[in-house]
Amino acid sequence: MKLKYTFKDKTAIVTGASSGIGKALAYSLAEKGANVMLAARREERLRTIVEEIGRKGGSAAYCVTDVTDETDCQRMVEETVRRWKTVDILICNAGISMRANFDDVQISVIRRLMDVNFFGTVNCTKYALPYLQKSKGTLVGVSSTAGIHGLPWRTGYSASKFAITGFLETIRLENLKKGVHVMIAYPGFTSSEIRYHALTADGSSQGNTPRNESEMTSSEEAAARILKGIRLRTQYQVTFTDLVVYFAKFLHKRLLNRVVYNMMAKEPDAPTNEQ
């Protein structure tokens, strides 16, 4: 009889854990009895979250980490193993977005998106994977609808999310006989800080969100779906909307292109660059 999966006493690393989905994942994992290493750049936020988890009886620590820095990622994984001897779950959630027409955007902005979203996933996976192989654990990459179909004015964001998919699908194949569970999560449009910090054409943060955050999936809901996918060891965690986009892409791509463009163009001050 197959035993029911439990998070109790598992050791999990969550990147981008100072806000949004990462923060929600950290709280939820701790509530379920996991040891949680929170990784992000904002130390004050990380400390506050870890202290609150501790007050509730959970087990958590933090490591200030810039996922674009390979050395930082190695140190973070080593600190996790030093504390809890293993890594059972790695959730690569750290990410940034952008909102600019490619005609206007600086190439450095695209590189920044790839460094954080794609290479951040690569860096963390590189050093955690040997431990995940030993524990037959789970590797999760948090992607996006933009990783299923390109979104206008998000060239770097979409490119980085497509790259994550290719990378993780390959890692899955290379570890088929090693027992590592690899899941790509597509949480859909989720209420978080990512749009407030999205980069504009010159690399500055836009400072606000062009969408109604209250109409989106909450970070807590997105986190719950991801944890369910881990528990069931699914290869992909997708929302209904993402499934529609996926199938529409193959069934009627031209129509989907128009629908996606029109939807995104409705955002206030959308950088359409239309003549």
Domain assignment present for residue 275? The answer is no
Q: Quote the Cα angle for 30-33-37, to 5°.
A: 45
| One pLDDT digit (tens) per residue for the chain, 275 residues | 456 889 999 999 999 999 999 999 999 999 999 999 999 999 999 999 999 999 999 999 999 999 999 999 999 999 999 999 999 999 999 999 888 889 999 999 999 999 999 999 999 999 999 999 999 999 999 998 887 877 788 899 999 999 999 999 999 999 999 999 999 999 877 765 665 668 888 887 665 655 555 666 789 999 999 999 999 999 998 876 766 665 566 556 566 566 555 665 665 666 765 54
Write down the residue that tokens 């998919």 correspond to: 165
Domain assignment present for residue 272? The answer is no
Number of compact structural domains in the chain: 1
List C-alpha distances in Å: 128 to 39, 54, 167, 173: 13, 25, 15, 17
Q: Does residue 157 have an active-site annotation?
A: yes
Domain assignment present for residue 5? The answer is no
Domain assignment present for residue 174? The answer is yes
Domain assignment present for residue 143? The answer is yes
* CATH at residue 180: 3.40.50.720
This prediction's pTM: 0.85
Q: Under DSSP, is residue 139 helix (H, G, I), strand (E, B) or coil?
A: strand
Please list, residue by residue across 35-70, b when 16 or more beta carbons sit within 10 angstroms of its beta carbon and e when fewer do: bbbbbbbeeebbeebbeebeeeebbbbbbbbbbbbb
Domain assignment present for residue 4? The answer is no
List C-alpha distances in Å: 155 to 9, 25, 46, 158, 173: 40, 27, 30, 5, 27
> Tokens representing 70?
């390979």
Domain assignment present for residue 77? The answer is yes
Q: Give the domain range for residue 169.
A: 11-265
The active-site residue, picked from 5, 157, 236, 246, is 157
Domain assignment present for residue 3? The answer is no
